[in-house]
Amino acid sequence: MKITVIMADECSATSVTGAVDVLCFADLLHRYGNGGEEPLFQIETASLDGGPVTCFGGMGLSPQKGLHDITATDLILVPGFLPNILTALDGMAALYPWLRHHHKQGAWMGSICTGAFVLAEAGLLDGKEATTHWLYAEPFRARYPQVTLQEDRIMTEDGRVLCSGGSSAGNDLLLHLVGKFGGEELLHDCSKKLLLDSGAREQGPYISSIFPLNHGDHDIRNVQLWLAENSDTPLSIDGIAGKFGFGIRNFKRRFKAATAMNPVNYIQSLRVEKAKRLLETTRKSMEEITCEVGYEDSNSFRRLFKQHAGLSPGAFRKKFYR
């Protein structure tokens, strides 16, 4: 199976080198277990013009080929781009028709992290489920409304197109490919020897709510700053609106327009984020944390926390306590 790993200026070096390392190692294990027979994976790297690229952080990588050298391939992997994916897209115009051509010829497509933007830009995610790094979910949705984004997912597969979330989620994608094309035994062998977790997981526990302040509505910004300091106190939407001189309907409308959240969800998110920090950095009981973030019933707050974080408070603390 021929696999082409794409590289371009501003891409993540580890997306490229990590993919090559994992797939080459999987191929080595395959050949070792089968007496040196034909390789399972033939991996090649390619840049748009065949020349070296400068990755994010300044590291240079030299490809083996250019796009024009590749007439056939079975799987194409697109790396992530951090943090400049939106500006990097304009410089990759030559890649999009090339990707469409090879997908039409039967090639599988895979993206790591924000590489999903590249597949979407090429039109290969239209009408499909996809994922990308959770931090880029909103700009992705705004740019590609025709794609069904599942940012809580570590990996998606829809047709012959696969996407993965953040940088480490690339390993989930790579192990999935090893299992799909090399079998479950090879997947588990590769996972154990590379110390990579092949179990199911989600992005949900890693997602942090974003509370934008640069939206231009000065009055709503004042409300947000006040809420950040007072979210642990008893709050009512009517009371907040009155405190800042809003009518209730106007307040709700302007608040959602500015923050993309209604006031109730915003306050819940503030409290959950504070609870996360306390779970990560203290040994306070859930009852203490519940009171400290502004709730009285710890059982109902546990349910709210799990709804937002994807893990129970106890599981979250076990995973992230430092």
State the residue for tokens 């090559």: 20
pLDDT range class, residue 273, cuts 50, 70, 90? very high
Mean pLDDT of the chain: 93
- For the cut 90, the answer to whether the pLDDT of residue 125 exceeds it is yes
How far apart are alpha carbons 24 and 189 in whole angstroms? 14
The reply to whether omega before 83 is within 30° of 0 (cis) is yes
> 99 and 122 in contact (C-beta within 8 Å)?
yes
- Torsion angle in degrees (nearest 10) through CA of 114, 116, 120, 122: 90
Calpha distance 45→4 (Å, rounded): 6
* All domains of the chain in start order, with CATH: 2-205 (3.40.50.880), 218-320 (1.10.10.60)
Looking at residue 118, its amino acid is V
CB 108 within 8 A of CB 130: no
Which is it for the CA torsion 11, 45, 111, 124, positive or negative? positive
Q: Identify the three-state secondary structure at position 84.
A: coil
Q: What is the rounded average pLDDT of the residues 35-41?
A: 80
CB atoms within 10 A of CB 75: 22
The 3-state DSSP class for residue 238 equals: helix
* pLDDT beyond 80 at 35: no
Tokens standing for 40? 């399972």
Q: Count other Cβ atoms within 10 Å, centred on residue 236.
A: 9
pLDDT in tens, 162-199: 999 987 889 999 999 999 999 999 999 999 999 887 66
User: CB of 226 within 8 A of CB of 267?
Assistant: no
Q: Count CA atoms closer than 13 A to 15's CA, side-chain side.
A: 31
Tokens linked to 47: 């840049």
CB atoms within 10 A of CB 43: 21
Q: 17-31, 52-66, 191-205, 242-256: which has the minimum mean pLDDT?
A: 191-205
Q: Are 27 and 177 in contact (CB under 8 A)?
A: no
* Residue labelled with tokens 């299992």: 179
Confidence of residue 237 (pLDDT cuts 50, 70, 90): very high
CA 283 to chain centre: 29
> How confident is the model over 128-132, as a mean pLDDT?
96
**Per-residue pLDDT at 198:** 66
Please state the φ and ψ torsions of residue 161, each to the nearest 5 degrees: -125, 125
Q: Buried b / exposed e across 304-314, counting CB within 10 Å, b at 16+? A: bbbebbbbebe
H-assigned helices in the chain? 13-33, 85-88, 95-104, 115-121, 137-143, 169-182, 184-194, 218-230, 237-243, 248-259, 263-281, 286-292, 298-309, 313-320
User: If we measure between CA atoms, which residue out of 157, 160, 112, 159 comes closest to residue 136?
Assistant: 112
The answer to whether 213 and 221 have CB atoms below 8 angstroms apart is yes
